[in-house]
A and B are shown apart, each in its own frame.
Chain A
Amino acid sequence: MSRVLPAEGDLRRVIGDGESVPDGEVDGLGADDLLSLYRNLVLLRTYDERSVIYHRQGRIGTYAIFWNHEAMQAGSVFALEDRDWIFPAYRESAIGLLRGMPVATVLSWWRGHPSGWWNPEEWGVASICVPIATQIPHAVGFAWGSALKGEDRVALALFGDGATSEGSFHEGATFAGVMKAPVVLFCNNNQWAISTPLSEQTAAATLADKAIGYGMPSLRVDGGDVLAVYEATREAVERARAGGGPTFIEAVTYRAAPHATADDPSIYVDAERVEEERENECVGRYERYLLRKGVLTDALALEIRGEALETLRAGIAQAEAEPPANVSLVFDHAYAEPPPSQAHDLAELRRILGG
């Protein structure tokens, strides 16, 4: 058995800065792959920026912003096969788009319309998990249960830095280690849990070091570097498939946007630092890398952004065209076989609503 060691101190990076830090490359990624990753990043970015606007226009409800988290989402998912499952938190609400889920579905979720609640089996994407860290044991159970059935399926659980303080993280990681579950625990360390900075979240030197206690290897990666995220996740997925069990990935970034549309970070963050981070945001970094490599041109970038915007326009139109939900959906699906009282409740509600 391999020894579990503290994570590397330095963050893994592939993308250079165009000046003193040279660009690297990831083995096995061709130009088409690099462009696919770019399309995914742009789609997520466009989804996020449009959603904030839709919220301000009153077209969706409160929305959890993931601006500058796109590289962690697109990079990690790119390392999966379609049969693998993703267990998102609310910060990854649109991660299903990377599996072909319609934009209208995710927008409908934020509109509180039933058409936004999908079948996880259809997309290999579990439901959006709102309570912090509680999806981690699900991912572990899914991965372990799949292995017990002899199925080659890996689970990717995504969560934030605050989640590592939760009991569910501890219990899920404990099970993952003991059961040698083929799962990747992917932590988006954006250094903020709403207004709580990482320094008040933990006394650990790094979040990745927590993995030692669960007997699993960990690594740290620059969360704004989509290629480094991809490479790190690929390594973890390969280990999982080979029977080597779980891996903890700490992807370090900085939350350069409000926690959600209802948040006012000006009360607690350093505006200058946010400005710095915004200038170094993950989509632009990758775009400049691709331009330097000659894989992308300005014209193609413009075209891809235009396509994404069109996809969002069509998506919100489709979401807004959903007919009002039938009141029976208040009751439907809570049980496979509902208690008899539910039929009575629905009949009474219909009578009062005059339906």
Chain B
Amino acid sequence: MAERLLVEAVNDALHVEMERDSSVLVLGEDVGKLGGVFRATVGLQERFGADRCVDTPLAEAGILGTAVGLCMAGWRPVVEMQYDAFSYPALDQLINHVGRYRWRTRGMMSFPLTIRMPYGGGVRAPELHDDSPETYYVHTPGVKVAIPSTPADAKGLLAAAIRDEDPVVVLEPKLHYRSAKEDVPDGEHVVPLGRSRIAREGTDVTIVAYGAMVHVALAAAESLGHEASCEVLDLRSLKPLDEDGLLASVAKTGRVVVVQEAPRVCGFAAEVAAVLAERAIFDLRGPVVRVTGYDVPYPYWQLEDAYMPSESRVVDAVRRVLAA
């Protein structure tokens, strides 16, 4: 066990998995010599060579498209998209091919590629360095999606993604790349996809969150203190979704607030609310309330704190749910 920042845990996972499996290959913009703009891939090129940690042209569809071909040649590519919104040019490949190719071969070929990217706001960055694009990925058949909130999960979920036979998108909360050091298991560490984590136990209300919003949920739960006993459920993986874990928590509390940083309409919180409406309606003692980003472009960073779901907005939502 060692104390590591979240970005160091990502780096550790890449080292461990590349050591373990010589078919794992990292590619992306500036991932080699520089070690990535966030230094997530630092040291990989020195350790594994320029053939296994590849600096690519600035072409996201080309990166993901060649990664599909690399799978056909027997590699397990780990693609870095430099920022959340920079991944949009690659949606063509993701939707048309990455999510469909296994099906297209009737399961006879696997496309075990991992797409990792920093996501989310709160970092005082220029436009399009702060998006939360998870819905696009979750909505794509054939693709799995994981979002860690802690250094240990960042390592374990990335390891699970790399080992998975299906394509997995891993969104890393860039706001928390360097926010705190936490214990991370040494060596091989795998957190299976599809298992949520109770980040804080409680009995009155379940706050469902993932990624950076887990920290907001925990802060809100803390500040509510004796007013309400809040359970914080960290989903960790959006697809597959741990419906059993979600239902178990809601069966206990009967009240739910779902927090997401992305815009509201058709966001993942809507999926959580729909699952609860279909499968837990008789456990619910009030409406499911969403706390989300607004349905506008992510704002100028001087206003981003007003846009981002905040501790006070979550506290407000919990109070409304308890009063219903």
Contacts and interface: CB of A to CB of B under 8 A. Distances in A.
Interface string A133-175: 0101111111111101101010100000000000110111011
A325 B103 CA distance: 15
Contact of B73 (A142, A175, A336): A142
Contact of A333 (B57, B65, B106): B106
Contact of A119 (B70, B75, B108): B108
Nearest to B107: A333
Nearest to A127: B104
Nearest to B23: A149
Given A145-B69, A149-B73, A339-B194, A137 B103 contact: no
A128 to B, nearest CB: 9
A168 B109 CA distance: 23
Given A174-B57, A178-B57, A336-B165, A144 B69 contact: yes
A121 B25 CA distance: 21
B292 interface: no
Contact of B68 (A137, A155, A170, A337): A137
**Chain B CB within 10 A, most for which of A127, A144, A145, A170:** A145
A117 B108 CA distance: 10
Contact of A136 (B65, B67, B101, B164): B65
**Chain A CB within 10 A, most for which of B62, B65, B69:** B69
Given A141-B73, A175-B57, A335 B66 contact: no
A329 B105 CA distance: 12
B141 A334 contact: yes
B164 A145 contact: no
A333 B99 CA distance: 11
A145 B75 contact: yes
B59 A131 contact: no
A344 to B, nearest CB: 10
B59 A119 contact: no
B309 interface: no
B240 interface: yes
A334 B93 contact: no
B67 A175 contact: no
A118 interface: yes
Contacts of B34: none
A141 B65 contact: yes
Interface in B192-223: 194
A134 B109 contact: no
Contacts of A141: 65-73
B89 A144 contact: no
A332 interface: yes
Nearest to A173: B62
Contact of A175 (B59, B103, B164): B59
B66 A140 contact: yes
Contacts, number: 149
A130 B194 CA distance: 32
Contacts of B239: 339
A336 to B, nearest CB: 4
A145 B96 contact: no
A265 interface: no
Contacts of B73: 141-146, 148-149, 151, 153
B277 to A, nearest CB: 15
A94 to B, nearest CB: 17
A151 B93 CA distance: 26
B102 interface: yes
A85 interface: yes
B46 interface: no
B162 to A, nearest CB: 14
A138 B102 contact: no
B92 A138 contact: no
B59 A171 contact: yes
B110 interface: yes
**Chain B CB within 10 A, most for which of A136, A146, A151, A336:** A336
A112 interface: no
B69 A140 contact: yes
B247 to A, nearest CB: 12
B183 interface: no
Interface in B123-177: 141-142, 144, 164-166
Nearest to B111: A336
Contacts of A151: 73
A333 B103 contact: yes
B33 interface: no
Contacts of A146: 73
Nearest to A131: B96
A137 B72 contact: no
Contact of B240 (A119, A136, A140, A339): A339
Nearest to A115: B106
Contacts of A102: none
B322 interface: no
A354 interface: no
Contacts of A333: 102-103, 105-107
A334 B103 contact: yes
A149 B71 CA distance: 12
Interface of A: 85, 114, 117-122, 126-127, 130-131, 134, 136-146, 148-149, 151, 153, 155, 167-168, 170-172, 174-175, 178-179, 329, 332-337, 339-341
A-B interface, 10 closest residue pairs, ranked by CB to CB distance from nearest:
A141-B69, A137-B65, A145-B73, A171-B62, A141-B66, A333-B107, A336-B165, A339-B240, A119-B108, A142-B69
25 contacts: A117-B104, A119-B105, A119-B106, A127-B105, A130-B96, A134-B65, A134-B92, A137-B64, A137-B66, A140-B65, A140-B66, A141-B69, A141-B73, A144-B69, A145-B66, A145-B70, A145-B75, A155-B69, A168-B61, A171-B61, A171-B65, A335-B166, A336-B165, A339-B144, A339-B240
Given A138-B72, A142-B70, A334-B103, 4 more contacts: A153-B73, A175-B59, A332-B107, A339-B241
